[in-house]
Amino acid sequence: MRHFCAVSVIMLFTTIQVYGQAPSSSEVERAIQTMSKIINDKYVFPAKGEKIAKHLSGELRNGRFKNVKTWKTLDSIATKVLRDFSGDGHMYVENNPKTVQELSAIKNNIEDNSGDDSFYYGGDAVKNNFGFKEVKLLEGNIGYIKLSQINISEKSLPVLFASMRFIANTKALVVDLQNNHGGGSAIGNVFESYFLPKEIPLLEFKNREGENHISKTVAWLLEPKYDKPLYIMINKGTVSAAEAFAFALQFRKRAIIVGQRSAGGAHMNSWYPVNEHLYISVSTGAPTLPGTEISWEQKGVQPDHVVEAGQEIVLIRDLIDKL
């Protein structure tokens, strides 16, 4: 669930390469060893993390990475190995030197307390309009907000406020989270706070040290609440923080979920550089309903109304007409 939390980074550069140069067998081996160490040290459940790390190292010994000719090939094979063994969609490796450089800069900024997480505050966040793809009125005075990602921060608050003000006088609201790959909030559960009273517990987050944190709706939101019916659209492409939004509001009986079962990626993830070509995503937190072990990990959020793709709005209109 990347970015329910801020990105965590450690510098584990193992070699200096010229960008684009094919990796040697020793460089591949060092990269796999570094990934295994990160997983063993950081995975949210220590025992499972140890097993995943040993499996990855074992695949190296068994020759799984023997014929790797590019860093991109390495990221694909490593990702498949990790996901096939763990069943955890937040485990992956990516060949992306630009992101590795950003992670390096974030680490340095964290050390001198001068930086911000690039996911929330970087250029791509602005370019993507913080995930707000569409805000409009559907026929019949139904509000519609399409989010491609969850990206809530001080920087995106004006966009969120403007979107919610635009649909404030509608008789119902549709939040479309289909194919939303997640993200999170740097400033608490602000979006959820439009639909629930302040300081309502939503999810409990657990880390490998056994420390628990319960997220709640925020107390500081002064914008008017939206108290009309809320419908959330999901599908198999709805992942992570987008699933959390639907899951929590469904549990609180504040939203009706329409569509198809979501991806089942509950875990929070953090990104760690492996070398200047690769970074690895590792699950570092596990959200559940407060006081329980109930999660959507590997199960997905189950819609209240399952419909074929493309029929969601039709069904929602029928539900609204019956109110």
* Spatial distance between the Cα atoms of 236 and 259, rounded to a whole number of angstroms: 9
**Which residues does the chain have with pLDDT short of 50?**
2-19, 110-115
In tens, the pLDDT along 193-223 reads 999 999 999 999 988 888 889 999 999 999 9
Report the alpha-carbon distance of residue 65 to residue 25 in Å, rounded: 9
Tokens (6 digits) for 294: 């109930």
Closest among 296, 198, 206 to 248, alpha carbons compared: 296
Phi and psi for 49 in degrees, rounded to 5?
Answer: -60, -40
Q: What is the pLDDT of residues 251-307, one digit of tens each?
A: 999 999 999 999 999 998 899 999 999 999 999 999 999 999 999 999 999 999 999
CA distance from start to end of the chain: 35
**CATH class as words, domain 129-267+284-321:** alpha beta
Contact at 8 Å (CB) between 133 and 146? yes
Listed by start position, the domains of the chain span 129-267+284-321
